[in-house]
Amino acid sequence: MKKILLIFVAALTSVVHGQKEISKSANDIAPLLIGEKIPNVTLKTSENKDVSLLELFKKKKTVLVFYRGGWCPYCNIHLQALAEAEKQIINLGYQILAVSPDSFKNLKITEEKDKINYTLLSDSKVELIHAVGIAYQAPENYKDVINEYSNGMNASLLPVPSLFVVNPQSEILFEYISIDIKQRITPELLISVLKNLK
């Protein structure tokens, strides 16, 4: 009996340990799946206020976007496209939350530059990005910019650009994840998905 218990504990330990490892490349990520719950993490707003993700989810259904940072031109294009579709998204009963490893100060710059009215959140310690399973080791040539934009909190990790639709209970209803940084879900397709989820 003790032997069986030891084998079980060893297997459990290896599974937990495996979940904590960061993927070496974007191809190796293991994101949460539809039906699973986004874990609660405390993030920072562009005003440097701590917010509980689950408390934000409780307010209404959420379009949760993960982007690489305000330094990424493809991310900025996507954030702007979401800003243009924001009224339609709100009318369908959703809020938009966008998360990156950027520090709160850099969120403010992105808000102003890209004319963002929805909520940008800082995950500069990459806790949520890691917990959702979309973190990976950035190529060497990105590390300086990541370190700078996270205000020294993150020197080596990036999220694979992703979008999740989450209900108020934090359950994932839909996800769009692309390891091609140029490929993002279009606002038109997102609106269609949200209408079908209603």
Q: Is residue 12 part of a domain?
A: no
Residue 13 maps to a domain: no
Q: Is the pLDDT of residue 15 over 60?
A: no
pLDDT at 20: 56
pLDDT bucket at 11, cuts 50 / 70 / 90: very low
Report yes or no on 137 lying in a domain: yes
| pLDDT single digits (tens) 63-99 | 999 999 999 999 999 999 999 999 999 999 999 999 9
Residue 115 sits in a domain of what CATH number? 3.40.30.10
Domain assignment present for 184: yes
| Residue 18: predicted pLDDT | 40
What is the pLDDT at residue 179?
94
**Domain range for 38:** 23-197
Q: Pick from 90, 78, 62, 46: which is nearest to 161 by CA?
A: 78
Instruction: Enter the pTM of the model.
Output: 0.88
Is there a domain that residue 15 lies in?
Answer: no
For residue 155, what pLDDT is reported? 86
Q: Is residue 110 part of a domain?
A: yes
Asked whether residue 109 is assigned to any structural domain, the reply reads: yes
Q: Which pair of tokens denotes residue 36?
A: 């699973």
Higher-pLDDT residue of 52, 20: 52
- Sign of the Cα torsion 132, 197, 94, 190 reads positive
Work out the end-to-end distance of the chain between its first and last CA atoms, rounded to an integer number of angstroms: 51
The structure tokens 């993927």 sit at: 23
Output the CA–CA distances (angstroms, integers) from residue 34 to 72, 98, 127, 170, 177, in the order listed. 27, 19, 20, 11, 12
- pLDDT above 70 as % of the chain: 89
Angle between helical axes of 73-91 and 187-197 (0-180°, round to 10): 40
Query: Does residue 16 sit within a domain?
Result: no
Number of domains in the chain: 1
Q: Mean pLDDT for the chain?
A: 90
> pLDDT for 115-172, tens place per residue?
899 999 999 999 999 999 999 999 999 999 999 999 999 989 999 999 999 999 999 9
Res 21: pLDDT? 82
